[in-house]
Structure 1
Amino acid sequence: MSDAPLPSGISDAPTAIRRLPGPRPDLLIFEVDARIHTADMAWMGATVSQAMEAFDRIDILLLIRRFEGATPGALFEPTALKAEAASILGVRRYVVVGAPAWAEAAITLGGWLSPVESQTFDAAEEIQARAWIDRP
C-alpha cells in the first residue's frame, strides 16, 4: 500500500505526495517529496474525503521530506479545499513533521482556531510525532 489507489474521479497519479502504510486504517500517512502540483492536491483531497466517509474521525500524519513549493493551481485545487473544509469535523489529529517555518506558524494558528488537535515536529522527531498521533 505504498501508493493508495486513485480515488474515483481523479485521473492523474500524484508525483510529489504518496501515501505510506500505517498501523491502523483511520490514520492517513502522507509523504511529500518535491514540488506539489494540482494533481497531487486533487489526489490527496479525494483520499482524505474517502477516509472521512469511511470513518467517523481520522488522523493525518504528513511527513515533509523535501518541499519545493507548490504550483498556483495546487493552492486552490477544489477537491483539496473541500476536504480541508470538511476536516474541521472529520479529522481528530493532524501532525506535520518537517514543516517549513511559515507552514509551522500556520498550523499552530490553525490549532488555536480549530477543534482539530494539531502539532508540528522537526524532521528529526518523526518517532515522537508517530507516538503523539497514536496516543489514546
Structure 2
Amino acid sequence: MTINDTPPNVRRIETSREDAYAFEVVGHITAADVENLYGLLEGAYEVHDKIDLLVIIHDYEGFDWQAAFKEQTILGKTHALKHIRKYAVAGGPGWMGTTIALFRPFFTMEMEYFPYEKVEEAWKWLGAKPASPPA
C-alpha cells in the first residue's frame, strides 16, 4: 500500500478463537465493501460450519442502500444465516440496535447490539478477544 492508497472500509480483526471472526467497519460502506465482507465470510464457512461474528462500526458515514438489495448481497445474507451462531454489532448509528432487537425473534442465531463504548462487552459476549500481535 502506498501513501496515496485508502485503506479498505472493512478490515478483518484476528481473534483468539479459530471459529470467531471480527471485522472493523469504518466510514462510508459501499457495495464493494459489502461484497468483500461476504467474500471473507464465505472463506470462513469453508473452514467452519458454524462461526461467531463481531462487527465493530465506527466513524460511520453512511451506507449505499442499493448495495443491500443487490442479488449478491441478498445471497450472502441468506447463506450467512446457516453458519452464524452468535452475531454482535458494536457501534454504528443508533438504529442498528433497534433493528437487531426487532429482528432477533425471527432468527435462530443469538444477536446482540452494543454501543461502541462497550466494545469490550461485545468481545466478552462473543467469548473471544482480539488476537495478540505476533512477537
| TM-score range normalised by the length of the shorter chain | 0.7 to 0.9
Q: Give the gaps of 5 or more residues in structure 2.
A: 1-5, 129-135
The separation in 2 between residues aligned to 1:86 and 1:96, in whole angstroms, is: 19
**Matched residue of 1:60: which SS?**
strand
Deviations 1:15-67, CA, capped at 9 Å, x for gaps = 21111111122111111111011110111011112212221101110001111
Count of aligned residue pairs for this structure pair? 123
Match among 28, 48, 53 for residue 35 of structure 1? 28
Specify the SS of the correspondent of 1:22: coil
CA distance in 2, matches of 1:17, 1:72: 16
For residues 88 and 69 of structure 1, what CA distance do their matches in structure 2 show?
Answer: 24
The 1:69–1:63 alpha-carbon spacing in structure 2 relative to 1, beyond 3 Å, is same
Structure 1 residue ranges without an equivalent (≥5): 1-12
Residue 8 of structure 1 corresponds to none
> Match of 1:102, as an amino acid?
W
Give the fraction of aligned pairs with identical amino acids, expressed as a percent: 28
Which residue number in structure 2 is paired with residue 124 of structure 1? 117
AA partner of residue 28 (structure 1):
Y
Select which of 52, 58, 61 maps to 2:45.
52
What does residue 87 of structure 1 align with?
80
RMSD: 1.9
Runs (4+) off by over 6 Å? none
SS at match of 1:115: coil
Whole-angstrom distance in 1 between the partners of 2:47 and 2:23: 18
Q: Is the 8 Å Cα contact of residues 15 and 40 (structure 1) preserved in structure 2? A: yes
Supply the distance in 1 between the matched residues of 2:92 and 2:77 (Cα, whole angstroms): 18
Paired residues of 2:14 and 2:22 also in contact (CA < 8 A)? yes
Aligned-partner Cα distance in 1 for 2:70–2:35: 6
* Bigger Cα Rg: 2
Deviation at 1:14, TM superposition (A): 7.4
Show the counterpart of 1:114.
107
